[in-house]
Amino acid sequence: MITLQNIAHRMQSGFPLCDGEVLLDLDGYKIAIQSNSEELLEKLGIYFAHTLGHGSADIVVKAIQRPQDTYDLTFTDWKREPGKTGRKDAYVDIEQARIIQKVRTSMVFLQSQSERIAAGPCLENDNQVINFINAQYMNHLQQNGALICHASGLCAREKGLGIAGFSGGGKSTLMLHLLSSDNVQYLTNDRLFLKAGSAIGIPKLPRVNPGTMLHDPNLIDLLPAERIKALKALPPSELWDLEEKYDVFVEDIYGPNKIIDHATLNAFLILNWKRESEVPCTIQEINIEEHVDLLKAVIKSPGPFYQDVNANFISQDMHQDSLAYLNALKNVRIYEASGKIDFTYAKDFCLQHLLME
């Protein structure tokens, strides 16, 4: 019989932990990261530099650099969200825990209230380790009443702006264009949490595709010269769809004090524009109760790593309640961008009407 204790032992056995650790202070919630790899701890310390803290941890996450292993488990595929293709996550539920495998990398994660372990080629897949660490903070937020949104977030002069869009809709690109402006701070790239009128971010740096970088003067120098030449030769549609993620270290690119962890949510922009449209882009305030279909761009499943306060995991057939989102957004101004994609127009509109007014 597979138990929490024996799977935790198998994941760690033969890979003793280093003496040091990285401690994150996320708005008072402290996560200690331990590993058997000093190199991995150094990388994580650099990545999470803006959140480093000290003191006693609330939880511990262990990242074990080791060869791939399925631990003789039979995994079941986790259903992808609409619009997503290919296998991504698989899982096994055991008493008091869930074991998740990343199909493409064979990284394995143990999620429970007592043990939180990432095991496998962590150095090659440090982004998945970062996501696992962030999943613990996201669990904490949701267990304390926050609602998860598929959105990026910014703040200017204490006014928060959420930006949502359908898959590949350009929310990260628009967010980074806005971030180059004075007084605009980064809140979050892809997961925004709503609670009592506040927008809460997670310490996940923007990850962008080459198409975004190629047309942004702040980011293009992150690409090698030969890669830039090859990318410029691609048809626009192929460049737009290219999946090749790069981390954007916000304060290295945009300067100090550019990251914030929460803000009062002032407005929400939903990108419902289309690449193929020939109609000029417009942005208009809407009553979201009359455009409930647009909520699909905002709603996000908590995912396979989510564990509630009673230690229960959600099933893959669970659907988020749209009424909860309507209630969370009832005092927030909602805007819809429609027509053709126009980042210049959208940036100017956001700065003049949603962030700086």
114-131 pLDDT, tens digit per residue, is: 999 999 999 999 999 999
Q: How far is CA 138 from CA 88, 130, 145, 203, 354, in A?
A: 20, 12, 11, 10, 27
pLDDT at site 85? 62
- CATH 3.90.228.20 residue ranges for the chain: 147-206+248-355
DSSP 8-class letter at 340: B
Report the phi/psi class of residue 289: left, alpha or beta, with left for phi > 0 and alpha for psi in -120 to 50: alpha
pLDDT of 215 strictly over 90: no
DSSP 8-class letter at 219: T
Q: Which residue in this structure is represented by tokens 């989510």?
A: 306
Mean pLDDT of 72-88: 79
What is the bridge-based pairing of β-strands 262-271 and 22-26?
unpaired
Contact, 64 vs 122, CB < 8 A?
A: yes
Contact, 207 vs 245, CB < 8 A?
A: yes
Quick check: pTM over 0.85? yes
Which tokens is 255 given? 């300067």
DSSP 8-class letter at 220: G
Angle between helices 126-143 and 38-47 in degrees, nearest 10? 60
Consecutive H or E run containing 292: none
Residues above pLDDT 70, as percent of the chain: 98
Which tokens is 273 given? 């524009």
323-338 pLDDT, tens digit per residue, is: 999 999 999 999 999 9
**Using DSSP, how many helices (H) and how many strands (E) does the chain show?**
10, 19
- pLDDT band of 304, cuts 50, 70, 90: very high
Question: In sequence order, which residues have a C-beta less than 8 Å from that of residue 182 and are 6 or more positions away?
Answer: none
pLDDT of 316 strictly over 90: no
Spatial separation of the C-alpha atoms in residues 156 and 263, rounded to whole Å: 9
- β-sheet with 108-112: strand ranges across: 22-26, 29-35, 59-65, 116-120, 108-112, 97-102, 89-94, 76-77
3-state helix, strand, coil in the chain (%, to 5): 30, 30, 40
| Torsion sign, CA atoms 302, 251, 248, 166 | positive
- pLDDT band of 319, cuts 50, 70, 90: confident
Record: fold of 147-206+248-355:
Phosphoenolpyruvate Carboxykinase; domain 3 (3.90.228)
Mean pLDDT of 153-177: 92
- The pair phi, psi for residue 90, each rounded to 5°, is -135, 155
Residue 93 has a CB neighbour count (10 Å cut-off) of: 12
Spatial separation of the C-alpha atoms in residues 306 and 311, rounded to whole Å: 9
Question: In sequence order, which residues have a C-beta less than 8 Å from that of residue 92 and are 6 or more positions away?
Answer: 2, 73, 74, 75, 76, 98, 99
Spatial separation of the C-alpha atoms in residues 136 and 333, rounded to whole Å: 30
